Chains A and B, each alone.
Chain A
């Protein structure tokens, strides 16, 4: 299988990629006449080749001063976007998944970032799911917080109350809740207070992604918003992607439809390997997700 990892970038544009932005309505800044447009029809298109683009979104546990791309991946989401149908899907990978890392051997999947950077992590997850990521986006906790604050916070739909004595002692209430940078980060990181641990956390990460998407939808019609995201990414990150390519990609994301966003998490069984608690992922399920979503970025049933 030919691997076509095209680029890896991180925080600011990550938000753009994780968000599904509405088709931007042409703004009203060009109104030089006193006439009214009384009948309107709309056509929109954003061309990308291939039609379905796959992005591996990684939350790195790198601390300030550490290399983002040589730490461990704390959040792992493989996101597919379909520029033709406007669909998008996210496949969550539990970070403790015990899998074969090419050239390294059996280990937790998140160690692949430490051993071989974004490319090896993408290859490892590609072997699990059967999909080669076109891009890898890496962010850190701190930059993720800045991202969420930068868009004015998000709203998520929390299915149950949970808390964490260190990250969020007062907990997160059930229902629709507003999150700022820190609380969004905590919502995506807390594991111990969740019944299904790492699996529920991965689902929470997807809820945060959806919240970012909905917030971006509100702001996407602001001239310069997507451009500012690209600039921020270029200034803050090492990337092999050109500004023009990122501009193009950001607009592809901006055409997606939130109603066509599906999210699944690869399940597995808990185990102890060499004294370490790990997840033995259901690789057949991961493959099924990949097979189902590969060509159209859609999974009917998790």
Chain B
């Protein structure tokens, strides 16, 4: 049986937004910014937050069982900062640096300056009011030595839907490269693609 796809769901949401706008007596499509917080559209935006699901992928070396949960939790924290600081939440906004708190200086520099359009939603910030995740999945390929993780390739897929002038579903996919620094993980590299879903 064909299930309701996310695109279909997005179209349904958009229709709901339009219907609620018309019901409220608005006369143009740019009325979203004035919508009533109690409207059906707002309720839809406030759907339960999508949690980041982290799994262990390929482990090269010996990773102690007891290390797995703490590793997933630590990397989840980094990924959540990245997702939420760079792509999700309320817009428009001008700073996305919070998403790169765990990045090394060089990686942060590239993400903020050279790759801002892909490493954040800076490119559509002025066209949207909110970006809400519809999927946050991370798989960790781990280099482990003597029971402990020494390097991680965090492969991820994060989908989000935008509301505002631009209503679209987008996907950010790729990986972040991390090494431990004390109890924290530092991101020294990334390879990310970003595009619309259709």
Q: CA of A48 to CA of B104 in the docked complex: distance in angstroms?
A: 9
Residues A46 and B189 in contact in the complex (CB < 8 Å), given A29-B155, A33-B5, A247-B150: yes
Give chain B interface residues in 155-174, CB to chain A under 8 Å. Answer: 155-157, 159, 169, 171, 173-174
Choose, from B21-29, B33-41, B55-63, the stretch at the interface: B55-63
Interface residues on B, range: 35 or more
Q: A67 an interface residue at 8 Å Cβ cutoff? A: no
Q: Is the CB of A248 within 8 A of B61?
A: no
A residues near B135, Cβ cutoff 8 Å: 32-33
Asked if A231 meets B61 with Cβ closer than 8 Å, knowing A30-B157, A35-B169, A43-B118, the reply is: yes
| B151-A227 in contact (CB<8A) | yes
Which residues in B have their C-beta under 8 angstroms from that of A234? 145
A252 CA / B179 CA spacing, docked (Å): 13
The residues in B between 111 and 149 inclusive whose CB is less than 8 angstroms from any CB of A are 111, 114-115, 117-119, 135, 137, 139, 141-143, 145
Interface of B is mostly: strand
Write out the residue numbers on chain B whose beta carbons fall within 8 Å of the beta carbon of A247: 143, 150-151, 179
Contact string against A for B residues 81-105, beta-carbon threshold 8 Å, 1 for contact and 0 otherwise: 0000000000000000000000111
- Chain B residues near A43 (CB, 8 Å)? 110-111, 114-115, 117-119, 190-194
Task: Judge if B18 is at the interface, Cβ distance under 8 Å.
Answer: no
* Chain B CB within 10 Å, residue with most, of A39, A43, A48: A43
A226 to B179, CA, bound (A): 14
Q: Please tell me if A276 contacts chain B, counting CB pairs below 8 Å.
A: no
A230 to chain B, nearest CB (A): 6
On A, residues with C-beta under 8 Å from B are 23-27, 29-49, 223-224, 227-228, 230-231, 234, 242-245, 247-248, 251-252, 255
